[in-house]
Structure formats: C-alpha cells, structure tokens
C-alpha cells in the first residue's frame, strides 16, 4: 500500500513509519516539523539525539534498502498543498498523528490553548475536507486518546466508542446508539473530542472510511526497527510538558532525581508500550471499514495502573525516593479506570506489559544520554488554572537558594 504518515517525525509517527516501511509499504512522511521548534521554544531537547528527518530517512535507506519519502506540509495552514498532494499521490491509507499531543503544553497559557486548537482541529478538518473533495478512497487511521473520556469513576468498562442507551419518548422507551460521552480534562483532550464529531460527520456525509484509535499513555523507547541503527533512534521526552509519566519516572530513577508524584498519585491511567502502538496501527490498517460504515473506534491500550503504584514499582527496582508534590492539573485525586479493549485482542494483539526488562531498557537509555538532561526542565509546572500554576513545585530537589533569616 501507499501510506501517508502525517506527523511522521514525531514520537509515535517515526517508529510507525519505519514499521510500515519494513513491511514493504510505500511510506510517505508528511510533517511541518513543529515538534522540533517546540523543543526550541521550551529550551529542551530530546533525551536521545535526533538527526534531521532527511538524515533519518537516508539512514533507513542505507540500512534496509527501503525508501521513505518526506514532504514538508502544514496541514492546518496549507490546505491547497495538502489537497494537491492527495489528488496527485492518491494514498491507499493515511495515518494521522499530526496534532500537538501534550496536555500540559496545551494549558501553559492562552496562546498555547489557541495554538493547540488551531493546529489540531484545523489540521484534522482540512484533511477530511481534502479527502472528500479529491474523492480518494483512502482509509484514515487517526491516533486519538483515552483522555477524551476524562478520569471519573463510573464503575463500568469504557466501551470501544459507542454506548447503547434508552431514551424516554411519548410512545415509550426507545433504544439508540450514541458516542460514549466525552469529558476532556485539557484543551488538548478537547481537540481530540472535537475530532470525533468531525469524523462522524464526514463518515456519514461523504462516506469516508475512518478508524479512530483511543490510545493510552505511551512508554518505552525502542521498536524492532529503531534498534537497527543509532541514528534511527526515536525521540524521548523527559520534560514536564511532553514527558509521559512512566518514562519520566524511569528517567528520574536513572539520574537520582526524586520520582515526582502529583497529588495523592491515585490517578489511574491506561498504558501501552511503543512497540504495541505500531503493531496496533498495522492491525487497524488490516481491518478497514467499508465505505458507508460508521467510524470504527478501538481502545488502544494494554493495561491500567495507578500513578503511585508505578512510582512504587520504579522505586523498588531502582531505590529512588518518591516526592509527593502539589498537582498542577485540575482532576480528581483518586479514580478507577476500566477499559474494554477486546477488538485489538481479537485481531491478534499480544500485549506488552510492564516487564522488568523493558523498564530497565529505558533506564539504560537514560544513563547513556544523561549528559543531555537539563534537570531544571524535569518538573511539571504548567498549571490548569493560574492558582494551580502558582502552587506547582518548581524545585523538587530543593536546590534553590534559601534565606537564612
């Protein structure tokens, strides 16, 4: 297949592009490279050294003989270029990762909220409008998030997209299938909720074939393909805005930094290893909906854990200390999370769970590149409100100069 990987220079996009190319597909990466300039804005860098996307695809060609083609297009701002590319290249499938992916970054300030909505929602809508206008019959696979549902405790499994309800009518109760209600906890999660509505419209109005993957928090570093050459290594974020919670704990443990748990640590999250992310994309591509079908929704996760339990697991393995800090997020202190993920299991996914060997792999990467870590960038200080931001702990190690008076 000819496959376009939108956002293919990113944390999930790059290993997915390699994985699909390795299977013999004709892979085209479309990216505006915004994640790289966000690093510059934040004054931080990937823990792992990243070459340019042009150098990355050159090395992939050298190692495997396979070609990945890069196209610099901004989905949110260059609609005409996107539409022209689709009409000329007519891909068989489109993998959509091209959205600002960090909840803390989306809550840093009003301008970050505006950017996240403009980039994510406009990019998704431009893509859908261009697909409808060009008439291409490509299968769109979108990377969404479990976070659209929030983290309240309802005591029942979150279904894969749809919920059967009964509605009172003058003639009695009638059944109806609805999208499972969303309760986004950040501007980023709100944009993913809006994506769902856009997908529903274009599937019913224009017959677009769409799969929406509601993914858990990604952890891990390597996939089978990124291990093949040092210059193919994936990016690895450790900072307070983009670093995911388990990866951050493992980084902190590797460098002797306190494991920063916010609030009680009673927040339950869904998790998935990066190797399973690329495998799920492959499985979704092989199970495409027919034209006229409803949007197909998968819960893309393999296990759930409480944050404090993760911290205790890492502390037990490493001897690291745990620091309980004020929570900069506006969320429940404790929640349960039960998730239905039967569809991927039925398609043959063999889940990668939190095995000790894989945790140690991340620690080894952290120790190898420890010299690239700026310890001042580790704390999570972006607050959901101004009051929460003011209470955020900016110095968990206690290195600030203290008054003696």
Instruction: Quick: pLDDT tens for 152-169.
Output: 667 788 999 999 999 999
What are 323's strand-pairing partners?
Answer: 260
Give the distance, in angstroms, between the CA of residue 388 and the centroid of all CA atoms in the same chain: 24
pLDDT at residue 399, rounded to an integer: 75
- The answer to whether residue 145 is catalytic is yes
**Residue 132 in contact with residue 86, Cβ under 8 Å?**
no
pLDDT at residue 402, rounded to an integer: 41
pLDDT at residue 336, rounded to an integer: 86
- The answer to whether residue 188 is catalytic is yes
Catalytic, out of 105, 149, 151, 188: 188
Catalytic, out of 192, 223, 277, 369: 192
CA distance 310 to 8: 29
Catalytic, out of 124, 145, 191, 260: 145
Bridge pairing between strands 172-179 and 162-169: antiparallel
pLDDT at residue 356, rounded to an integer: 73
**Residue 218 in contact with residue 12, Cβ under 8 Å?**
yes
Cβ partners under 8 Å of residue 11, min gap 6: 35, 101, 218, 234, 235, 237, 274
Residue 316: how many other CB atoms lie within 10 Å: 9
The DSSP call for residue 177 is E
- Counting as low any pLDDT under 50, the low residues of the chain are 401-405
Residue 348 sits at the vertex; the CA angle it makes with 347 and 352, to the nearest 5 degrees, is 125
């Amino acid at each position: 297949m000819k496959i376009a990987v939108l956002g293919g220079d990113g944390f999930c996009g790059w290993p997915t592009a390699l994985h699909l190319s390795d299977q013999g597909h004709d892979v085209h990466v479309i990216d505006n490279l915004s994640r790289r300039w966000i690093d510059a804005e934040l004054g931080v860098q990937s823990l792992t050294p990243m070459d340019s996307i042009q150098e990355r695809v050159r090395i992939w060609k050298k190692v495997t003989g396979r070609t990945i083609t890069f196209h610099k297009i901004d989905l949110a701002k260059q609609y005409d270029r996107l539409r022209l590319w689709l009409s000329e290249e007519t891909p068989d499938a489109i993998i959509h990762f091209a959205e600002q992916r960090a909840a803390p970054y989306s809550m840093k300030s009003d301008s970050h909220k505006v950017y996240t909505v403009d980039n994510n929602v406009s990019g998704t809508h431009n893509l859908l409008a261009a697909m409808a206008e060009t008439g291409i019959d490509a299968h769109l696979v979108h990377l969404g998030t479990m976070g659209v549902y929030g983290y309240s405790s309802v005591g029942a499994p979150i279904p894969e997209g749809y919920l059967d309800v009964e509605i009172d009518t003058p003639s009695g109760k009638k059944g109806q299938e609805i999208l499972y209600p969303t309760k986004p906890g950040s501007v980023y999660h709100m944009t993913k909720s809006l994506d769902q509505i856009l997908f529903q419209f274009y599937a019913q109005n224009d017959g677009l074939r769409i799969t929406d993957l509601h993914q858990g928090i990604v952890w891990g570093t390597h996939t089978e393909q990124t291990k093949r050459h040092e210059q193919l290594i994936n990016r690895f974020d450790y900072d307070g805005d983009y670093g995911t919670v388990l990866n951050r704990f493992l980084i902190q443990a590797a460098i002797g930094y306190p494991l920063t748990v916010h609030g009680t640590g009673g927040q339950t999250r869904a998790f998935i290893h990066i190797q399973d992310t690329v495998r799920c994309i492959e499985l979704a591509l092989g199970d495409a909906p027919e034209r006229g079908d409803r949007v197909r929704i998968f819960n893309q996760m393999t296990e759930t854990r409480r944050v404090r339990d993760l911290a205790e697991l890492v502390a037990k393995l490493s001897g690291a200390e745990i620091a309980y800090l004020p929570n900069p997020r506006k969320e429940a202190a404790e929640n349960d999370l039960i998730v239905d993920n039967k569809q991927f299991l039925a398609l043959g996914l063999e889940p990668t769970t939190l095995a000790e060997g894989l945790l140690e792999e991340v620690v080894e990467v952290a120790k190898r590149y420890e010299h690239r870590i700026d310890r001042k960038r580790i704390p999570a200080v972006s607050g959901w409100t101004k009051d929460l931001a003011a209470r955020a702990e900016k110095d968990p190690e206690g290195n600030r100069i203290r008054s003696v008076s």
